[in-house]
Amino acid sequence: MILTRTHESQIVSSLTAQRAASRGSTVPLLEVKNVRHFYKKREALKGLSFTVSEGEIFGLLGPNGSGKTTLFRILATLFPPFSGEIQVLGKALWENLFEMRRRMGVVFQSPSLDGKLTVFENLCHQGRLYGLYGKKLKERCEEVLTRLTLKERSQELVEKLSGGLKRRVELAKALLHRPEILILDEPSTGLDPAARLELWKYLEELRVQASLSVLVTTHLMEEAEHCHRVAILNEGALVSLGRPEDLKHEVGGDVVILKTGRPEEMARKIKEKFSLEPVILEGLLHMECSGGASLIPQLSTAFQDQIEWITVRKPSLEDVFLHKTGYAFRAGEEALR
Ligand code: ADP
């Protein structure tokens, strides 16, 4: 039987609902309530609140400086927030630190592998930090090596592996103690597009097969599209929260993009004639409207010689950011090139 993503989601929702029911609990897996954080007087997180449900892949999307890493470090228990509450399955994170660290697998942005050790040795080292020894440690290493199809690589030195394989070993390390929630900070940094896709394939498999819930930070729009729900951050505040398709739906209709030699003048004329609100981004006019396809011939007729090109597309998460903040989300583009 071929399972579609909807089928899988239904099965996982039903499994996680059963698990929650068996615990007698309907509390979210992770709850972040009004979390604020300051670096000296600079407010890096401005009262963030959201929940993550069991079995979902939740994305924290934002341009550089939006507060993703600060929140990630707080969730990874590296330091407490200035104020606010964080609960994992109804228990306060900071009051149950050791239990919480066992329930969580963490993959930091900067590599944490020892290149001079083999894959297996790296895993053993990590396992011991979690109190795993002997037969149990060996079994767990076998388990994660199999899950992440790394078995054939287990005796290779980590420094000889590609970037994508190293990332997979980091994932394996984070799973050794069988966490319930996996948190990853910008996991695609430094990976080529193929390795990025592969990483997401593994995250989705882990979610389904190991009933993991995943929280991932990213500044890449295309990555956020893989998430079930996304919290979009800007300057430490929550801009938008929901399923990518719903967020894009909020923008509505179409986005028409137009290139002209005189963008300011054209923006003014379009506003007067068509009652639209063009925004100029890197010299291009962006317009949200319904029926973009029928607007194109109207614009072409009205400004024949002044248009270099014009196109229409459905809204992206970048348009959601523009819609909510009034300016462009540019951080991820260089990384995608
Ligand atoms: P992101 O991960 O989205 O790029 P960060 O959480 O790293 O965002 O940064 C949020 C804000 O906090 C930025 O304005 C950044 O300059 C500031 N910041 C981050 N870390 C520190 C620090 N250690 N000391 C002072 N300011 C910091």
Cα-based distances in Å from 186 to 109, 117, 240, 275: 6, 24, 19, 40
Q: What is the mean pLDDT of residues 123-142?
A: 95
Evaluate: CB of 64 within 6 angstroms of ligand 1.
Answer: yes
CA 17 vs. chain centroid, Å, equals: 23
Predicted pLDDT at 8 = 43
Query: pLDDT tens digits, residue range 165-209?
Result: 999 999 999 999 999 999 999 998 888 888 889 899 999 998 998
Q: Which atom of ligand 1 is nearest to the CA of 62?
A: 3
Predicted TM-score (pTM) of the model is 0.84
Q: Which atom of ligand 1 is nearest to the CA of 71?
A: 6
Domains of the chain, first to last: 5-242 (3.40.50.300), 250-325 (3.30.70.260)
The token duo for 196 is 């990025």
Query: pLDDT tens digits, residue range 5-49?
Result: 444 444 444 445 555 554 555 678 999 999 999 999 999 999 999
| Residue among 35, 42, 71, 329 to mutate when testing ligand 1 (max atoms within 8 A of CB) | 42
Query: pLDDT tens digits, residue range 206-245?
Result: 899 888 999 999 998 888 999 999 999 999 999 999 999 9
CA of 40 to the centre of ligand 1 (A): 11
Pairing verdict, β 284-289 and 237-242: unpaired
